[in-house]
Chains A and B, each alone.
Chain A
Amino acid sequence: MSALPALTIAPADKTELDLTSIRADFPILRQRIHGKSLVYLDNAASVQKPKAVIDAISECYSGYYANIHRGVHLLSERSTMAYEGAREKVRAFLNAASTQEIIFTRNTTESINLVASSFGGSAVKAGDEIIITGMEHHSNIVPWQLLCDRMGAVLKVAPFTDTGELILEEYERLLNSGRVKLAAFVHISNALGTINPVKMMVDLAHARGVPTLVDGAQSVPHLTVDVQNLDCDFYAFSGHKLYGPSGVGVLYGKQALLDAMPPYQGGGDMISVVTFEKTEYADLPNKFEAGTPNIAGVIGMGAALDWLNAIGLDAVAAHEQQLLDYATAQLLEIPGLIIMGTARDKAALVAFTLQGVHPHDIGTILDREGIAIRAGHHCAQPVMQRYGVPATARASLAVYNSRDEVDALVKALWKVKELFA
């Protein structure tokens, strides 16, 4: 395993968040649930939206909405500018080389399916191999299984340790077969919180000529992603985990690869000339954006990036890391509580089991205390199977969470123990 990055305490002016002001940006956080203050700790499933995002969507529909890329009228021009402006914001957010490399989709799942169908459908043949890891979300398993079934290819799975760290040697061994056409892996595990060494994983794959896809659904809200530095070939994420609306996702792809890939879906907006004999496809990124997209949603995601950039991802990460350390220490005080996923490099979530209490019962009892957590298999059933549990409870953090909320969680878990004693 590689050495951990040195722990550095950033200057106070960079990391100190004005939590009161941040929380005030989220109208939904003001409500009460079952008579208690809402403590929202289900952020890895979907995060709440700041007023700036809600306003941006509302302004689009009430001020300048029209279809994009086609009208000569003013509203269409304004909508097109706002939509393409959001694409530039995403490009800058990822430090991609060009907006042509930013494809808007519905969500991470669709981004991965696009690559599986278009890239996989043309590059993968019978007997070829695709590598994933044992800690993938179903969305980075099933598209590859479908592809493998269709092509007669084989899915290989790189295992992880009891603490939830990928076994890099095994990953490297799988890469050595000479038949691997793509390595697809999660940046941050939604079930364990593990931050994978994706830069190293990309380098190892590239050393053998294997392209890579990174599932960034859980990482973009918590750490800075620079796709040129990572050098990954594809990077997929969703807007709704990034303080943006649901129904919008992003696929970043290297231009040379995207250029060579066939379209994913056919329709309007993705063509340059259509006759009944032959169709010429539009250039990137439109080639992969058939049909009227989620215009207001994309604009809302652009607003979310502005909002997040104003706080600064470094400050977000520092705040969440402190909170994670605090939550981990507090939770471990509870007898019978076992944390699943204790990787050295870990982000903003704690998955756990409590002896003698099923996670669903924990979830129901916490809900009555106003606390929202996830209980279940987290769309990562192979991870549950790896640990031999049917489900876990998961508290996942966002920038607006506070120590008081962690205290409320811990207090409620003591109540769970009391009830089930």
Chain B
Amino acid sequence: MNDLRDLYQEVILDHNKRPRNFRILPQPTHHADGVNPLCGDRISVFLDIDDGVIRDISFQGAGCAISSASASLMTEALKGKPVNEIDHLFDAFHTVVTTDAECPKGLGKLSVLAGVRDYPSRVKCATLAWHAVRAALEQHKQPVATE
């Protein structure tokens, strides 16, 4: 069970049970859906961007603990951040969940998802919300898929 605790850390279980920013923004400036066709998980992200800054961000959908917690943690991490920092943060996060590299500084709570690196089949769960945010910024009309 110890190694499972590395994946399912308390913070993750908590965000799964009580996801933050789990709502629909009434008038988002940006919005996209992310789907994982392998498992049927689907989340929608909503952003309110003003003057290059993410004023508000939220998500909705159904997914596993990893994808839900990752989405929830992502919304907390991105709220108030300049849009041009998203790519950098996603790259750092992606490195953490896919490689054995040390956690880059500045990731904050997102680093609790580092345990995913030992579960390759779950990387897509952890990155689904991030892909959706990227799609929203690129104004994708079709849901972005992890496959």
Interface residues in chain A, defined as those with a beta carbon under 8 Å from any beta carbon in chain B = 356-361, 364-365, 368, 375-377, 381, 384, 390-391, 415, 419-420
Identity of the chain B residue whose Cβ is nearest the Cβ of A384 in the assembled complex = B40
Partner of A420, one of B7, B41, B65: B65
Partner of A364, one of B7, B17, B40: B7
Q: Are B39 and A391 in contact (CB under 8 A)?
A: yes
Q: Are B1 and A360 in contact (CB under 8 A)?
A: no
State in angstroms the CA–CA spacing of A76 and B13 once bound together: 61
Contacts of B41 in A (CB 8 A): 360, 390-391
Interface residues in chain B, defined as those with a beta carbon under 8 Å from any beta carbon in chain A = 1, 3-5, 7-8, 13, 17, 38-42, 62-66, 68, 119, 121-122, 125
Q: A359-B64, A365-B4, A419-B4 are in contact. List 7 more A-B contacts (CB 8 A).
A: A360-B64, A360-B122, A361-B8, A361-B65, A375-B39, A390-B62, A419-B1
Contacts of A365 in B (CB 8 A): 4, 8
Contacts of B7 in A (CB 8 A): 364
Among A356, A357, A391, the one with the most B-chain Cβ atoms within 10 Å of its Cβ is A391
Known pairs A364-B122, A365-B4; A358 contacts B65 (CB<8 A): yes
Q: Are A358 and B64 in contact (CB under 8 A)?
A: yes
Known pairs A368-B3, A419-B1; A361 contacts B66 (CB<8 A): yes
Task: Jot down 14 A-B pairs with beta carbons below 8 A, ordered by A.
Answer: A356-B17, A358-B68, A360-B64, A360-B66, A360-B125, A364-B4, A364-B119, A365-B4, A376-B39, A377-B39, A390-B62, A391-B40, A420-B13, A420-B65
Known pairs A390-B62, A420-B13, A420-B65; A360 contacts B39 (CB<8 A): yes
Identity of the chain A residue whose Cβ is nearest the Cβ of B5 in the assembled complex = A419
Q: Are B1 and A415 in contact (CB under 8 A)?
A: yes
Q: Are A357 and B40 in contact (CB under 8 A)?
A: no
Partner of B40, one of A356, A381, A415, A420: A381
Contacts of B122 in A (CB 8 A): 360, 364
Partner of A358, one of B3, B63, B121: B63
Contacts of B121 in A (CB 8 A): 364
State in angstroms the CA–CA spacing of A244 and B4 once bound together: 35
B11 to chain A, nearest CB (A): 14
Contacts of A361 in B (CB 8 A): 8, 64-66
State in angstroms the CA–CA spacing of A391 and B5 once bound together: 24
Contacts of B4 in A (CB 8 A): 364-365, 368, 419
Among B5, B42, B64, B65, the one with the most A-chain Cβ atoms within 10 Å of its Cβ is B64
A154 to chain B, nearest CB (A): 26
Contacts of B119 in A (CB 8 A): 364
State in angstroms the CA–CA spacing of A420 and B64 once bound together: 12
Q: Are A390 and B65 in contact (CB under 8 A)?
A: no
State in angstroms the CA–CA spacing of A390 and B63 once bound together: 8
State in angstroms the CA–CA spacing of A358 and B38 once bound together: 14
Partner of B42, one of A359, A364, A390: A390
